[in-house]
Amino acid sequence: MVANYTQSTVPIPSLALSPALVLNADFRPLSYYPLSLWNWQDAIKAVFLDRVDIVSEYDDFVHSPSFKMRLPSVIALKNYVSTSRSPSFTRFNVFLRDSFCCQYCVKKFSTHDLTFDHVIPRSRGGRTEWDNVVTACSACNLKKSDHMPNEVGMIPVQYPHAPTVFELQRNGRNFPSNYLHHSWRDYLYWDQELEIG
């Protein structure tokens, strides 16, 4: 049974800011960038549907007439979701592969200041594929225009390639979300060296 939750006993801002970090069944985040977060309503629904285990909790409670429970801060899927398929060729994934850095001037930009550039221009037969498309800032894109890389001395710092899921996950970890609850740290940085002492 999924009860009807009331927010009466918990301040609304606190509830609104209590997302649950969603882990795969192997206890790694489903995704790093954007971070896999569910709002507390979805998290609790999944608990009741027996699809997730609660790994960690907030101090805040949620009430219904018939029960009271702590809001989950970390949940883990009971069934493993495969992430082994190849990443889709999207604008965002190209940016993520290139760590939001212009591949010509190597400066970091936010997504709305980035464009993508065909290393071999389309006018010279270059295709829109992983191995011919790189992240570029507007200035570099304009400068390179329809030239071949060697004509203008603009060689991408990293040779464009189709990334693996692992590679995108790894890059995504370098861009933490604005809000990181302390209970998430162990799962976000699970392979970090342990501090002794």
Options 17-25, 112-120, 122-130, 137-145: segment touching Zn ion (CB under 5 A): 137-145
Residue 102, interface with Zn ion (CB under 5 A)?
yes
- What DSSP state is assigned to residue 29? B
Strand 68-77 to 20-23 pairing: parallel
Identify the residue among 35, 140, 154, 168 touching Zn ion (CB under 5 A): 140
Vertex 85 angle, CA 111 and 52, to 5°: 90
Q: Which of residues 137, 154, 160, 171 is near Zn ion by CB under 5 A?
A: 137
Rounded to whole angstroms, how far apart are CA atoms 79 and 38? 17
- Chain-centroid distance of CA 21 in Å reads 12
The token duo for 150 is: 């060697």
> In the bound complex, what is the minimum distance in angstroms from residue 139's beta carbon to Zn ion?
6
Q: CA–CA separation, 72 vs 58, rounded Å?
A: 6
The burial of 136, by beta-carbon neighbours within 10 Å (0-12 exposed, 13-18 middle, 19 or more buried), is given as buried
Least distance (Å) between residue 142 CB and Zn ion: 10
Cβ 114 to Zn ion, closest distance in Å?
9
Output the smallest distance, CB 5 to Zn ion, in A.
Answer: 49
- Between 35 and 137, CB nearer to Zn ion: 137
**CB of 119 vs Zn ion, minimal distance in Å:** 14
Q: Which of 15, 105, 165, 188 binds Zn ion (CB under 5 A)?
A: 105
Number of residues near Zn ion (by CB under 5 A): 5
Q: Which residues bind Zn ion (CB under 5 A)?
A: 102, 104-105, 137, 140
